[in-house]
Amino acid sequence: MQTRRRITVALSAVLALGLMGAANARAVKGQFPPDFTAGTLDGKKLTLSDFRGRNPVVLNFFAEFCGPCRREFPHLKELDERHGPKGLRVIGVSLDDDRRSASVIPTEAKVKFPIVFDPKAGVAEKYAVQAIPHTVVLNRAGKVHAVIIGADLEALDRAVTEVMR
């Protein structure tokens, strides 16, 4: 319950910042998204811009308490397994405030893609995440191709098919 409350507070803060005019702090179709470097659950550092010009990316914001996130993760795993060998990179961004909670959904889904641990919602703030799941699909050039709010698997599949062409 404490995790849910902290995430709600963090997302409320993100919304407030967005309403105060953080216009450059979000993913806008056709533009480069905000870059970030953050730690992953396995202790590595991940920098989003490292994929620019090389790989399409699916960036998915989630939290352990989120039912739609839990249902979406097996699909993200399928996308990673099907398109990963062709260059697609799937990256999860956990908004949970502790590593144990952050690892629950990825462990249940048995994913192999990296999970960024964002307990203070710093990355989420850059993307103006107001609801989860929140997914940003980037093309090979590193520009935003689609922003999907909610677990819309058809929209996600369509966006991935388009960036994999």
Note the pLDDT of residue 134.
98
Note the pLDDT of residue 9.
43
36: pLDDT strictly greater than 90: yes
For 97-115, what is each residue's pLDDT tens digit?
999 999 999 999 999 999 9
* 3-class DSSP state of 157: helix
What separation in angstroms does the CA of 61 have from each of 8, 20, 53, 149?
Answer: 14, 22, 23, 10
Domains along the chain with CATH numbers: 2-163 (3.40.30.10)
- Name the token pair of 72: 């979406």
Q: What is the mean pLDDT of residues 25-33?
A: 93
149: pLDDT strictly greater than 50: yes
Polymer length of the chain: 165
For 72-97, what is each residue's pLDDT tens digit?
999 999 999 999 999 999 999 999 99
First to last CA, the chain: 43
pTM of the model: 0.87
Task: Quote the mean pLDDT of the chain.
Answer: 90
